[in-house]
Structure 1
Amino acid sequence: MPITLRELAGKLALPVLAGDVSRPVGWVHGTELEDPTPFLEGGELLLTTGLHALRDGYVERLVRAGVVGLGFGTGLSHDVVPSSLVEAAAKAALGLVEVPREVPFIAISKAVSKALAADEYAALSRTSEAQRALTRAAVRAGVGGVVRRLGQWIDGWVVLLDAAGEPVHAHNPRLVPDLTAELARLKTAGGLASAAFELDGVHVFLQALGSRARGVLAVGTARPDPGIVNTAASLLVLALAQHDSVDAARRELRAGQFRMLLAGLPIDGLPTRFRVFLAGEPPDDTVFWAAVDGDIVVLADEFDGVASSEVDQSGVARGYREAQQARRAGVRTFEDLAGSLKVPDGFADALLRPLDAETRETLRVWLTHHGAWDPAATEMGVHRHTLRNRVRKAEQALGRSLDSPGLRAELWLALHREGQ
């Protein structure tokens, strides 16, 4: 923070005579003009020896010009500071200090210049440190890490909004005000990439991230530091571009893995048995999914979508076909296809009549597992040899071989009808 008039007076042992001495000193200027205000910018500590009489209205003009304080040198034109000046400074709340002759004006200028240089160096150091911290966050944690680290540095709130204005990542989200109007102005400002304003005492920055399609960084803080915000925005543009590249590579990898499964080649990380789902939107990465030929295909035990019957890795191609057939038929699962087909009355009774209840249940489980012996035997709690014997018994009763896909389909349809 810049040095205040009180701190300066304490540093150089200058007596404080009147007014507000808590304001920071932006510069020091010595003058003996009766009206120096045309040469001032505001924020100055004005030094004078009172060589010429200070006429009425002198202090008021200084206040209007934004002067933060007046240093009156004694021991030259005046032995003491005129009481009228002290009274005027007190009335106008202008900080007034006495500068004894043994304290040269140049010492005050040097002290302020040194303090300003130290403050600027501290600000540059802080910005540099923040840039390094934000860069580390981008490398280690990506987009979300940059947002969190920025929020910590500015001690405020930060939100990354997508192109639709929806929050993607946020720090201190409960503090974020309604920015709808400001975002709309930024969007329609004819190429404007950023905006800065004050809202309820908080400095707010809006920064479009490269192409506006990438979103907007919104920051609110009581300690504005545009340099840090700009650094964060640049890192976010890079991180988002990297994320897009990585996401595209992952999509290609998953599509390639799914094509391997279609070809009968196994991959790691899948459950033993699952269903093939056709979903409307890509899920998160807690389940395997791939975008293939316009479909979002999900391999999972349960999911919201059109599903095949249960398969293992060797049956993914069949499961994919089943899910597509179920979608074309307008049903939720491949098993529901049986209920949607039109079959003659008495079909199930006629086909299943030679089979007892145990054999019917055996065939239902076995066909559910697509003729796989071990999983079907496990579900029924019998040895696979027992299961084989029961299936042979069914073939003998039906007088037909269950190696026939047509018979399996008829039995599946009949068993499903029977259970309705």
Structure 2
Amino acid sequence: MSFDLRMVARVVGGSYVDHGIADHTACEGLARVGDYVVVASAEFATLVTGSVADLDERFAQGSEAAAVTARAVFVTDEDTPRLRKTLAAHGMSAVLGATLAGEALHWRLAAMLADDRAASDRLVAAGTRVLTQVARRGGATAAMAELAHRIDGWAVLLDAHGQLIASAGAGRLHLDDAKAVALGTPVRVRHPGLQTHQVGSDLDFTGYLVVASRSSATGRIRDLASQAAALFDLVLRTRNPSLTEHLGREALVDILEAGGQAAAALVGRWGVRERALTGFVLGARTRTVDLERLVERWLDELGAEYLFVADPGRVRGFLPEQLVGDLVARVAGFAQPGANTLHLGVGAPAPVDALGRSAVQARQAFDAALDAGQAVQRYAELPTVDFVLDAISGEQRTQLGGILDELRDERGAHGELLQALHVFLAEHGAHRASAARLGVHRQTLVSRIHRVEELTGLSMSRPDDRAAAWLALRALGEEL
């Protein structure tokens, strides 16, 4: 709001007496002194009118009424030593000696506030229209630049995990402050007066919009930023896939993994011109990360087609090799308070009619990254065991995996015994760590490992048997 206490004093022809509320403070309300019972906001001033007798009566009602009244600004035509002494005693600011009195003064102030609010509303409405047009043409980045210009400051848009989506006018320290304020991080914020606006509803949260301005029009900036937050919520959801789109992409990825001429033709119809692609698998141990939405945003930023599908706990798909480095950088730089790092497995480039091999490589690399707790694992950098598995034929791989056939249930599916074996070997035989990872009692884990040894004839105390079991597990990688 531009209607501050200096303007009030100038318009009514009075003089301002400061007892704790600076004269550049904006005004947001008006009340009669006898009706003022709640301090609306510490950032704004509320004007009160009435007689000096009315003011004395409020102060005489007790400490609570006196404290509330003192937080307002008294506007009157009177200006006497006694009145000034009363104001000083209670620490109440005032505009004294106005040229208008009584009802005329009150309604003059009401008209001024109404005019100011109408002007502010018009500016917010006009700004919102422009932001909408800019977002339609240039997306969130362009709208952020327009918002920063209109508020004469800077703006930062973060996703629900505190990762940067777009910013305008913000330096490195501003970005750190914005993230700290949005996520409630207990650190010292170097920039005062930041405003944080939620993007999305409490039930479907999208992110945060943090703004700061050099202008004193705090209310107008707050209203415009609130409208901008709603706009960004719509912009960020424009690619939210329906069930039909999800099933379509799932069928697409399955065809690509199957390979052949049908896969090559489908890639061309999808608008992909590259003749080779690279498989990737992205996942996280926590369910608090929306992997599908995260990958959609990253691919939008990279200008890549949606050649991926979301499975429970992970996303798998294909990407042009020249964009793999950008995806790796985003995963490596991703961090969420209270959550583990993302894990990415990347295969080797393959022709579009033979992508199944790259998909298998990506899954193997992802499993290795998950086991080692690494953010990124490329297939080409996997240890020797993966190259050994890659070198043997499919029939030999099936035979190797058959070592663990006795662990299947009556329906032929692997269950808790295979999972226990996999975690036990991945944790280097540490019972306590393995039990904690599985969420079972240590004795339960020991019992399951003994049962595995009975059914397979392997002994987890012999290095050769442990190596054979691990090779068999990796050979079954597609089923794990």
TM-score norm. by structure 2 comes to 0.46
Task: For 1:105 and 1:124, locate their aligned partners in 2 and report how far apart those are by CA, in whole Å.
Answer: 29
Q: CA deviation at 1:323?
A: 5.0
| Alignment of structure 1 residues 21-420 onto 2, 5 Å | 22=23, 26-27=29-30, 29=32, 43-48=46-51, 65=69, 66-73=71-78, 82-87=80-85, 89=87, 92=91, 94-99=93-98, 103-171=100-168, 172=170, 174=172, 175-176=174-175, 177=177, 179=179, 183=183, 201-210=192-201, 215-221=206-212, 223-224=218-219, 225-245=221-241, 248=245, 261-262=261-262, 265=265, 267=268, 270=273, 275-280=276-281, 284=299, 290-291=307-308, 296-298=317-319, 305-308=347-350, 316-317=352-353, 319-320=354-355, 332=380
Aligned-residue offset at 1:232: 2.7
Q: Do 1:161 and 1:167's aligned partners in 2 also have CA atoms closer than 8 Å? A: yes
Once the two structures are superposed, what CA deviation does each residue of 1:66-116 show, in whole Å capped at 9, x if it has no partner?
34134244xxxxxxx54343455567574352256xx44343223212210
Q: For the structure 1 residues 306 and 85, does the alpha-carbon distance in structure 2 shift closer, same or farther, using more than 3 Å as the test?
A: closer
Q: How far 1:117 moved relative to its partner?
A: 0.9
Aligned partners of 1:340, 1:62: CA distance in 2, in Å? 86
Relative distance call for 1:262 and 1:320 in structure 2 (3 A) is: farther
Secondary structure of 1:243 counterpart: coil
Distance 1:49 1:87, change over 3 A: closer
Contact 1:144 1:169 in 2 (8 A): yes
2:197–2:225 contact (8 Å) kept in structure 1: no
Q: Deviations over 1:187-208 (max 9, x none)?
A: xxxxxxxxxxx99742433415
Tell me how far apart the structure 2 counterparts of residues 209 and 51 of structure 1 sit (CA, whole Å). 46
Alignment partner, residue 462 of structure 2: none
Offset at 1:126? 1.9
Q: Distance in 2 between matches of 1:41 and 1:329?
A: 64
1:243/1:325 CA distance change after superposition, 3 Å: closer
Structure 1 residues 126 and 251, CA gap change in structure 2 (3 angstroms): farther
Partners in 2 of 1:50 and 1:263 — Cα distance? 88
Unaligned runs of 5+ in 1: 30-35, 74-80, 186-197, 343-420
Whether the 8 Å contact between 1:151 and 1:158 is mirrored in structure 2 is: yes
Q: Whose Rg is larger?
A: 1
**Residues 146/71 of structure 1: CA separation in 2 closer, same or farther (3 Å cut):** same
Q: Determine helix, strand or coil for the equivalent of 1:144.
A: helix
**Cα deviations by residue, 1:347-403 (Å, 9 ceiling, x for unpaired):** xxxxxxxxxxxxxxxxxxxxxxxxxxxxxxxxxxxxxxxxxxxxxxxxxxxxxxxxx
Give the direction of change, closer, same or farther, for the CA distance of 1:135–1:326 in structure 2 (3 Å limit). closer
Change (3 A) 1:170 1:248: farther
SS at match of 2:307: strand
The 3 A distance-change label for structure 1 pair 152 and 105 is same
Match of 1:386 in 2: none
Identity %: 16
Aligned counterparts of 1:40 and 1:211: Cα–Cα separation in 2: 32
Structure 1 contact 47–72 (Cα < 8 Å) conserved? no
Partners in 1 of 2:101 and 2:278 — Cα distance?
85
Give the secondary structure class of the aligned counterpart of 2:240: helix
Q: Which moved more, 1:43-52 or 1:142-151?
A: 43-52
- How far apart, CA to CA, are the structure 2 residues paired with 1:234 and 1:108? 39
Deviation at 1:123, TM superposition (A): 1.8
Alpha-carbon RMSD across the aligned residues, in angstroms, is 5.4
Segment of structure 1 superposing worse, 91-100 or 131-140: 91-100
The residue matched to 1:202 in structure 2 has which SS?
coil
Cross-structure match for 1:188: none
Q: Is the 8 A contact 2:128 2:227 kept in 1?
A: yes
Contact preservation (8 Å) 2:347, 2:362: no
Contact persistence 1:28–1:47 (CA under 8 A): no
Where structure 2 has 5 or more consecutive residues not aligned to the other structure, the ranges are 40-45, 283-294, 325-345, 366-378, 382-386, 394-480
CA gap 1:287/1:90 in 2 versus in 1, 3 angstroms: closer
Give the drift of 1:178: 6.5
Distance in 2 separating the partners of 1:2 and 1:302 = 49
User: Cα 1:122–1:239, aligned 2, differ >3 Å: closer, same or farther?
Assistant: same
Q: Distance in 1 between matches of 2:236 and 2:54?
A: 64
